[in-house]
Amino acid sequence: MPTTDLHLVVDIAAWWITAVYESGSVLQPVLFDGRASLPSGVFDDAGIWTAGRDALADGLRRPESYRPDPMTLLRHGGPVEAVAAVLAHVAAAATGRVAALTVVTAHEWEQPARHRLERAAALARLPRPRAISTAAAAAALAGTDLAVVCVPGTAWPELTLVDTRNGYRHLATAAVRAPGVPAVDEALLRVAANRAGTDADPDNWQVCREVEQARAVLAVQPRASMLLPEPHGAVELNRDDLAAATAVHLERLPDSAKQLLADAGTDPAQVGAVVMVGEDPQLGKALAGAALTPTVTVRDTHALLRSAAATRPPGRPSWRPWQRRRF
């Protein structure tokens, strides 16, 4: 690629978008009005899709027309126009012509979903994208043949065994989930609703967004407030609430880890590294208790993007020399 062209790497997660672009051998974060992240959602105005903060502002006025997680919709057959609007918006924030595109997906996508992603990129007038999962990008940071990656998730943690030797294949995946127990975010929503004396509505994306923002605050502060729909006001959540909602699932972690390795036919001694995405002491302790002590902790979301930029499809050279990776 000429140095004037860009390799754009985009992570359209459940609530937030982050992106980096590579020009020559230099990687830079994409800034959206000076910020390192952008709301993921799109606004549908009679078939005209918009993305970014304007879309969120419109969605708060007309919540029924807002789609907070267009990538999940696309994976399950949703409109390609929604993700096309997001990709075009991100590309416009990068300075230069996009000559290569990598999209980080929360999970490994099957071929039909990849085809829909390719259609979305074409609609946005961008190159055919290469899709790489969060687990694969995280495993690449470990520098080993086999790595177990743990992603906290909004619902419950998830373990993935990744083979980095030939295309970052997912050998097995296991949800760390207690049967019949609410997901972590839904449990927090129920706590908040109970304190406000109202019913929990997990289908209300505005309330779910409040839970997500409260969880982000609880990562750095002992308490967080969240707003509930009128006539209710703000309620407070604390770290004990989050710990309780998570602990019931983490009790299943040892069994989930054994099942993960059994499904892949892998001996524990073959695992070269354990990668934890995000800094979570409770999760780290549970992993250690399951004989999966994290050897790499990914604290910066942009580190995954930089790793994704450096990985390569099977049989193809990397986008840039391996030793230049930073994380």
Residue 137: which residues within 8 A CB-CB, separation 6 or more?
104, 304, 305, 307, 308, 311
pLDDT tens digits, 123-171: 999 999 999 999 999 999 999 999 999 999 889 999 999 999 988 999 9
- Residue 118 belongs to domain with CATH number: 3.30.420.40
Structural domain of 220: 184-247
* Same-domain check for residues 95 and 190: no
To 10 degrees, what angle do helices 205-218 and 184-196 make?
Answer: 100
**Residue 315, in any domain of the structure:** no
Same domain, 189 and 89: no
- pLDDT value at 323 more than 50: no
Q: Check whether residue 80 and residue 189 sit in a common domain.
A: no
Residue 313: its pLDDT value, please?
A: 61
Between strands 146-151 and 273-277, the pairing is parallel
Domain boundary among 78, 97, 127: 127
Whether residue 168 lies inside any domain: the answer is: no
Q: Domain check: are 85 and 17 in the same one?
A: yes
Per the domain annotation, does 94 fall within a domain?
yes
pLDDT > 90? residue 54:
yes
Q: Is residue 83 part of a domain?
A: yes
At residue 218 the predicted structure's pLDDT band, cuts being 50, 70 and 90, is very high
Domain annotation covers residue 295: no
Q: Could you report the per-residue pLDDT of 264-314, keeping only the tens digit for each?
A: 999 999 999 999 999 999 999 999 999 999 999 999 989 999 999 998 665
Question: End-to-end distance of the chain based on CA atoms, in angstroms?
Answer: 24
Question: String of b and e for 186-218 (b: at least 16 CB within 10 Å)?
Answer: bbbbebbbeebeeebeeeebebbbbbbebbeeb
Using the predicted structure, report yes or no on whether residue 315 has a pLDDT greater than 70. no
Indicate whether 96 and 17 sit together in one domain.
yes
H helices of the chain, in order, are 53-61, 70-75, 80-93, 111-123, 134-140, 184-196, 205-218, 239-250, 253-264, 281-289, 301-310
Phi/psi class of residue 296: alpha, beta or left (left: φ > 0; alpha: ψ in -120 to 50)?
beta
Same domain, 84 and 10: yes
Q: How do residues 163-178 score in pLDDT, each as one tens digit?
A: 999 889 999 999 999 9
- 111 and 13 in one domain? yes
Q: What's the total number of domains in the chain?
A: 2
Residue 220 lies in a domain: yes
pLDDT at residue number 65: 98
**Rounded Cα distance, 210 and 63, in Å:** 14
What distance in Å separates the CA atoms of residue 106 and residue 202, rounded to the nearest whole number? 21
Whether the predicted pLDDT of 321 surpasses 50: no
Mean pLDDT in residue range 201-210: 92
Instruction: Show which of 247, 276, 294 is a domain's final residue.
Output: 247
Instruction: Say if 265 falls within a structural domain.
Output: no
Compute the C-alpha angle 111/166/129, nearest 5°.
40
Model pLDDT, residue 325: 34
Q: Is the pLDDT score of 3 beyond 60?
A: no
Task: Taking residues 171-199, report their average pLDDT.
Answer: 95
Q: Do 194 and 80 share a structural domain?
A: no
In a domain, 255, yes or no: no
User: What percent of the chain is predicted at pLDDT more than 70?
Assistant: 94
Confidence band of 98 (pLDDT split at 50, 70, 90) = very high
Last-in-domain residue among 211, 230, 247: 247
Q: Above pLDDT 90, what percent of the chain?
A: 84
**Confidence check: pLDDT of 326 > 80:** no
Q: Among 139, 137, 121, which residue's Cα sits nearest to residue 129?
A: 121
- Tell me the pLDDT of the chain averaged across its residues: 92
Instruction: Report how far apart, in Å, the C-alpha atoms of 152 and of each of 8, 14, 17, 149, 280 are.
Output: 26, 13, 17, 10, 8
Angle between helix axes 239-250 and 205-218 (nearest 10 degrees) is: 100
